[in-house]
A = this chain, B = another copy of it.
Amino acid sequence: MKTLRTVAIVGVGLIGGSIGLALRKWRPAVDVVGVGRSPKRLKIAEDCGAVTSWSTDMAEALAWADLVVVCTPVDRIVEDVRRAAEHCRPGTLITDTGSVKQPIVEALDEGLPGDCRFLGSHPVAGREKSGIAHAKAKLFKNRPAMITPTENTRAEDAGRLRAFWESLRANVYEISPAEHDEILASTSHVPHVVAAALAAAIPEGFSGYAGTGLASTTRIARADAGLWMPILLANRANVAKALERFETQLAALRASIQAGDGEQTQRILALAQGRAEALRNAE
Contact = CB atoms under 8 A, between A and B. Distances in A.
A212 interface: yes
A1 interface: no
A182 to B, nearest CB: 9
Contacts of A215: 279-283
Contacts of A146: 209
A260 B276 contact: no
A252 to B, nearest CB: 8
Main secondary structure of the interface of A (DSSP, over half): helix
Identical chains in the assembly: 2
Contacts of A194: 194, 198, 217, 250
A200 B271 contact: yes
Interface stretch (A13-21, A24-32, A84-92, A121-129): A121-129
Interface string A190-222: 111111111111111011111111111111111
B201 A276 contact: no
A242 B211 contact: no
B276 A257 contact: no
- The contact size tier of chain A is 35 or more
A6 interface: no
Contact of A144 (B192, B208, B230): B208
Contacts of A214: 187-188, 191, 279, 282
Given A214-B279, A215-B283, A232-B265, A206 B193 contact: no
Interface in A157-210: 173, 183-184, 186-188, 190-204, 206-210
A40 interface: no
Contacts of A68: none
Contacts of A186: 201-203, 206
A273 interface: yes
A258 interface: yes
Given A273-B224, A276-B219, A283-B216, A211 B125 contact: yes
B211 A126 contact: yes
Contact of A207 (B201, B243, B254, B278): B278
